[in-house]
Chain A
């Protein structure tokens, strides 16, 4: 998340995880001694039952409309022109040929774009989600190679694309920093994340490291990665009655509406942003320049605009994960216990954002050690603003940490699984607060048994079938439990005769992972209704509250908001039920929802159906809106998801080609709500981890800051043949301190995978690769 160091941000940061653990005053069900969510105790309901995506049929039949499939009357199509220098000014724009091209409606540049404010950058207010704080088409300045400098509107996409190719833009280049070495030479600074320094010191780690009888001390490198959701970014935009209507692809619907409203000086109710279906996000489906430019062009042309980024357009204007260079040093006693963990290093970002890759986050909670020295420094260079990408920090941080642990295991002659278990912490290694729910040992044991780890020959380079060297490796993965404030839920019960239906509205985003289905499952269970009688509304800024599908926190945020709304609904229904109800005299705390109505928790015979309550009250419907409680649980416990990743690789002794032949993930992520979509999300994350291990790398040309592989042909992602059957299992142990006992599972899957692959490569070949991706030339 891009952030700015100001007071607001610090306040927000406190709520969002990198926080001090405080003793709270407010009563809350998540505080110590509070009651766990009653749904945790319900063992035989919908939760935990595999349910197919409720929108699956719509998607496979093409009936689900994505952002670029909406249509307005008199709509125009947009094409962008991108800068080709890293820093400087637009010297001249010759648009005569473009303006004369067939079908052209508008050529918009900084010379004629409407005046707009800069996007409110991430962290500057609770709902600000701008990726940078630069003017968009407001002046002649160029800040990165790929920055949009012009937008062409035409009657068809083909006409717009053609006209854009006719624009002739010349530049006056100015000195720029496009090399990592140059950026470092300009000076590095302490990296901040959510207002907090990415730095922890416990004891004198360097001194203990120096004295440790066994140690490893190595440097690990991870490259830039680009976002490649299957659906390129797109928006269909119209100005209606002085307000903006945007059909967008978003994982932060309300925040995005508010942020783009700020750009155009619009009140919140003058921006309506919908995003019912999103073809993947992974951190990238937020506000970028193209929506601002599309809205500005629509305003200037007086016609609606559809702006669809080409794949190259995504690479030029949507940031990805930045590179890292990490030192990990671990000092240990001969018995394997850790004396010191040093995890330091640098990443790069830009002058116009504030998103260091926080690669030490996972190291803060993974192992016990007598001392820690953790620090991220950051250098700035002239490039597209980098951003979140699935498990920012942990994805690349666990690569370095977990390869180092494997290297240490080899030095110590201890099995790498056992070395990890040997250093399992009893409480949070840095803060000393208890864990809310940590069953990583169970996950390791179950995973090792399923994988068949026992009896593994620890020697490297001794298993061979024909040309193929075979090895196995493992690594642990981790990702925090978050829950952001701001979520609300609106529950509307409607009665038609004896039939009752529930509409549950949450301002959530569905990127394909199954959120709408899981929300229906949980809401149905909480309301005591069959899932067929529950409708979930989402992906619309008109719904109250703000929920982000980010930080793997959406399910918890929705869960807490639905708990709040359900409690309010029960209270309202009890009032409506009145003194003639079997429930008369019971307080909301004493009542639960079951079988289509309310019942006493202690005497289930005291019950009345929703239909009966509403009927006697002569009501057709009842509706409540309520926010979720503040996420105080984060202050009391160290809360994380965990994984144990196992894999087998085959390395060709002739060519160095690397194939992952087996892959298993054993997860400890609280209670799993929908095993079908959860398994898919775990596997998807692990496939992304394979991409990171084997092939993903943005080719950023340091001579001019230009990305040179902006296409799926040249930026390699795993194809089917690169992906073995992936085995996933989970502990399914509920966390008593979270809604439904669940943890988020969106990001944990990618963590640990690259290290497991690298460790297996060492076991196969004896070659230790410390720089991703592990391409064949590194194994020759």
Chain B
């Protein structure tokens, strides 16, 4: 770990003032950043602790939910409105990490999680464009079981590890951001980036910008929603594939649908092609399979992850059928 200065911000204004300094980083629950500090992947000069800020969940005037960035994962998953109106979000959170980690982890920090690519973590022995832009990517040609099949670039094949963010991507969430003298909102689908030439940039946040809240719109389709995660052990592993989905049927036809995949890309992958193909269609296994085939038509498979499109498709079929019949345990 590289020595740093530590400050605890009393309010958002103080936080963004402190965070405006060069080399500053915001600290939430620390469940990922502290690991990155220990591994010297992250070497900030100054940590601004914002974990005590913005810990409230409130209903908005238009029937949505405003979730403070400092809300702990556990609290969000247990919130009655989340459980009732956005069950996909509660289930996604509970599918991740462990109870102890969820007790610490914050909503804002969850959005800022970095990839679990082992070459990214290997500061001494491996090249990584995300860690050191321009150095090269040793993941290509290496162990790529957890790596991307969609939207990757020559420079980077990493995936985003969050479960919660896959649900937020499906729910049309909006991220509230603040910096010194300015606030703005970012649609969730625009918040995380594809790697392109700059895999070192995970998100569109500018230096010094602080996430203050995540807003969920009122979304009737979300009442019937769920999250399914497929991984290499029963708990405490990152997703090989995950599916966040919401479904509203009108008779035998799909009235409204939201689908996002985790474990397939550098960002939570909103499956717009699946949604487009299925909206208004009859929900058959064949239709779902065809829709997924559209989504994965451009998949770029690596040495160890060729099973992902098929696994994602099969999981999607099972999830949508379960939502249709109301059998999401």
Chain A residues at the B interface, C-beta cutoff of 8 Å: 81-82, 84, 102, 145, 158, 161-162, 165, 467, 654-657, 659, 694-695, 699, 701, 703-704, 706, 708-709, 711, 713-714, 716, 718-722, 775-777, 780
A-B contact count (CB 8 A): 84
Whether A714 contacts B315 by the Cβ 8 Å rule is no
21 residue pairs bridging A and B, Cβ less than 8 Å apart: A84-B124, A161-B1, A161-B38, A165-B40, A654-B317, A694-B233, A699-B143, A703-B141, A706-B126, A708-B119, A708-B122, A708-B142, A709-B143, A714-B118, A719-B233, A719-B234, A721-B233, A722-B235, A776-B232, A776-B240, A776-B311
Could you give, for residues 302-329 of chain B, a 1 whenever the CB lies within 8 Å of some chain A CB and a 0 otherwise?
0000010011001101100000000000
Most buried by B among A82, A158, A655, A709: A655
Asked if B3 is at the interface of the complex by the 8 Å CB criterion, the answer is yes
Asked if B222 is at the interface of the complex by the 8 Å CB criterion, the answer is no
Whether A708 contacts B233 by the Cβ 8 Å rule is no
Whether A655 contacts B311 by the Cβ 8 Å rule is yes
Asked if B6 is at the interface of the complex by the 8 Å CB criterion, the answer is no
Question: What size tier do the contact residues of chain B reach?
Answer: 20 to 34
Could you give, for residues 87-129 of chain B, a 1 whenever the CB lies within 8 Å of some chain A CB and a 0 otherwise?
0000000000000000000000000000010110111111000
Known: A165-B2, A780-B307. 12 other contacts (CB 8 A): A162-B2, A162-B3, A165-B123, A654-B314, A654-B317, A701-B143, A703-B141, A706-B125, A719-B236, A776-B240, A776-B307, A780-B311
Measured between beta carbons, the chain B residues less than 8 angstroms from A84 are 124-125
A221 to B242, CA, bound (A): 29
Whether B40 contacts A654 by the Cβ 8 Å rule is no
Whether A703 contacts B142 by the Cβ 8 Å rule is yes
A659 to B234, CA, bound (A): 8
Measured between beta carbons, the chain B residues less than 8 angstroms from A775 are 232
A694 to B232, CA, bound (A): 8
- CB < 8 Å neighbour of B124 from A82, A721, A780: A82
A671 CB, nearest partner CB in chain B, Å: 36
Kindly report which residue of chain B lies nearest to residue A694, judged by CB atoms.
B233
Kindly report which residue of chain A lies nearest to residue B139, judged by CB atoms.
A708
Measured between beta carbons, the chain A residues less than 8 angstroms from B119 are 708
Asked if B237 is at the interface of the complex by the 8 Å CB criterion, the answer is yes
- CB < 8 Å neighbour of B122 from A695, A706, A718: A706
Kindly report which residue of chain B lies nearest to residue A310, judged by CB atoms.
B38
A157 to B32, CA, bound (A): 21
Most buried by B among A699, A775, A777: A777
Asked if B214 is at the interface of the complex by the 8 Å CB criterion, the answer is no
Measured between beta carbons, the chain A residues less than 8 angstroms from B124 are 81-82, 84
Known contacts A165-B40, A656-B311, A701-B143; is-contact A716 B233 (Cβ 8 Å):
yes
DSSP class of B's interface residues: helix, strand, loop or mixed? loop
- CB < 8 Å neighbour of B116 from A467, A713, A716: A713
Whether A719 contacts B314 by the Cβ 8 Å rule is no
Known contacts A694-B233, A708-B143; is-contact A654 B318 (Cβ 8 Å):
yes
Measured between beta carbons, the chain A residues less than 8 angstroms from B116 are 713-714
Most buried by B among A161, A162, A706, A720: A706
Known contacts A655-B311, A706-B126, A780-B311; is-contact A722 B233 (Cβ 8 Å):
yes
Most buried by B among A81, A467, A704, A776: A776
A727 CB, nearest partner CB in chain B, Å: 19
A655 to B318, CA, bound (A): 9
Measured between beta carbons, the chain B residues less than 8 angstroms from A656 are 311
Measured between beta carbons, the chain A residues less than 8 angstroms from B307 are 776-777, 780
Could you give, for residues 205-237 of chain B, a 1 whenever the CB lies within 8 Å of some chain A CB and a 0 otherwise?
000000000000000000000000010111111
A655 to B315, CA, bound (A): 6
Measured between beta carbons, the chain A residues less than 8 angstroms from B121 are 711
A532 to B52, CA, bound (A): 53
Can you list the 7 inter-chain pairs with the closest CB atoms, starting with the nearest?
Answer: A721-B234, A777-B307, A84-B125, A721-B235, A654-B318, A708-B118, A655-B230
- CB < 8 Å neighbour of B314 from A145, A655, A695, A701: A655
Most buried by A among B1, B142, B233: B233
For residues 235 through 259 of chain B, which have their beta carbon under 8 Å from a beta carbon of chain A?
A: 235-237, 240-241
Whether B1 contacts A162 by the Cβ 8 Å rule is yes
B131 CB, nearest partner CB in chain A, Å: 14
A703 to B311, CA, bound (A): 28
Measured between beta carbons, the chain B residues less than 8 angstroms from A703 are 138, 141-142
A518 to B290, CA, bound (A): 64
